Amino acid sequence: MTKLSIFGPALLLLLAPALTKAQDSLSLQQAVQIALEQNFAVKIAQSDVEIAHLNNTRANAGLVPLVALNAGNNTNAVNFQQKLANGNEINRPLALTNTFNTNISASWTLYDGRRMYMEKNRLQLMDDMGQLQLRATMQDIASQTALAWLEVSRQKSILSNTDEIIKVFRERLQLSTNRLNVGVGNKVDLLQAQSDVNRREKERITAQNNLRDAQRNLNTLMVRTPETPVNATSLPSSLPELPDSTAFLQKIWSSNTDLAMLQYRLLVAQNSVAQAKALTKPRVGLNGGYAFQRSDNTAGFFLFSMQHGPTLGVNFTMPLYTGGNLERQRAVAQVESEKIDLQIKQLRTQLQQQFSSLVGRSATLRQSLVLDNQNLALAREQQNIALERFRAGQSTILELREAQLALEAALFSVQQTQYDIFVTDALLQAIVGE
């Protein structure tokens, strides 16, 4: 699971203050809740957790004796012929022989180099890893849902900005039409104004399609019909504060799920090394039971036989020569352990680099947003002035068009920078894994 592709549920906390006044048919919190309850990936992860938990038993590790009840009853019909030393002969066609046997057997490994206890520890580690993987999956789905919800909001903002620009450009189109009708304009200005409107109308069609795609993606994460209507407010204007670097890094080291998963894998690998070493130790087992057998014959010297009683035994196994196979298993487990340790160090380095880059990017975007908002205010004022100057005949249509294009660029720049800030801050939360 790559942390740069998901966002942690802490994004809810980032956006909650700005969304308290939202009047959505589907809020961000509701979308995440539905996804966590319905998404198939979460349900599959829950099944994996249950399987790992069911496997985590002392019996599965070999720490308890195995007891079995066995029984059988066999009847044979044979042509029996027998000649005794005293001269008597027995000839019995289809003589019946019935044998009944039953026993209770038990086997218990007393010592195997403590490999049974190591296996129980491995099963516990797998149980814990299942819980961690479920947590990571839920974070992934919650984060993807939050991102999808934000994308719906972003596309709605794009559509709203496009409508505003179309309105502005239509005003220039109307002015150009009026000027041409009264004989003070020219057709080139009218054609240019109509072309600009047509282009924005086309962009509006694209924006509508992008909004529908974003809604389908969100509905898919929530396991709903793709065409289910989804309404979301525009991106919130309030921004989360930049995190404290020292405290945030400590959270990363303690809460990042990728790092925690690697640490568990390291423990499992170290367990495999210990189990491989234990294979060279002797194995001592205890066997016992109670057996009963009865045999009835309709012909022959013995017509009836019965025996029963307890059995007890000890077995001992000591590997003396395996062609180096046990040493190979130990060496492979040791190399795997060392490899995972290197992966942990590599991931810590990558996480620290990602954190530094994201903090720097977030700070840069916040500074850019201040300038973008200033530019938007200037562009609105410039557009209004240019419009009034054009109405008064004090400027050309080119000046008005340039002012409108500047307003368009400023509107979309503010919207994109705001969105990038939330994405960046969400990525920071995703690295933590909370």
Q: How confident is the model at residue 4 (pLDDT cuts 50, 70, 90)?
A: very low
Residue type, 425: D
pLDDT tens, residue by residue, 31-70: 889 999 999 999 999 999 999 999 999 998 888 999 999 9
CATH class of 3-65+113-282+324-432: mainly alpha
pLDDT of residue 203: 94
* pLDDT interval class at 192 (50, 70, 90): very high
Separation of alpha carbons 218 and 28, rounded Å: 11
Q: Shortest CA distance to 149 belongs to which of 72, 241, 217?
A: 217
Q: Is the pLDDT of residue 434 over 80?
A: no
Q: State residue 9's pLDDT score.
A: 45
* Six token digits for residue 165: 């620009």
Q: What is the pTM of this model?
A: 0.78
Secondary structure of 44-94 in HEC code, one letter for each residue: HHHHHHHHHHHHCCHHHHCCCCEEEEEEEEEEEEEEEEEECCCCCEEEEEE
| pLDDT at residue number 249 | 86
pLDDT surpasses 90 at 167: yes
Does 261 score more than 90 pLDDT?
Answer: yes
Residue 342 CB neighbours (<10 A)? 9
pLDDT at 301: 60
Residues 22-32 as b/e (b if ≥16 CB within 10 A, e otherwise) read bebebbbbebb
What's the mean per-residue pLDDT of the chain?
A: 85
Amino acid at 61: A
Report how far apart, in Å, the C-alpha atoms of 405 and of each of 112, 186, 304, 408 are. 80, 21, 111, 5
Which of 38, 105, 94 has its CA nearest to residue 67? 105
Residue 121, classed as helix, strand or coil, is helix
Mind listing the pLDDT tens digit for each residue in 137-146?
998 898 888 8
By the 8 A CB rule, do 243 and 255 touch?
A: no
Of 177-191, 211-225, 252-266, the range with the lowest mean pLDDT is: 177-191
Whether the pLDDT of residue 214 is over 90: the answer is yes
Query: Using one digit for the tens of pLDDT, what is the confidence trace for 229-252?
Result: 888 766 666 776 777 778 888 888
Q: Which residue has the higher pLDDT, 18 or 218?
A: 218
pLDDT at 25: 67
Sheet with 66-83, edge to edge strand ranges: 66-83, 89-111, 283-297, 304-317
pLDDT above 90 coverage of the chain, percent: 46
- pLDDT band per the 50, 70, 90 thresholds, residue 211: very high
* Whether the predicted pLDDT of 80 surpasses 60: yes
What are 386-399's pLDDT values in tens digits? 999 888 888 888 89
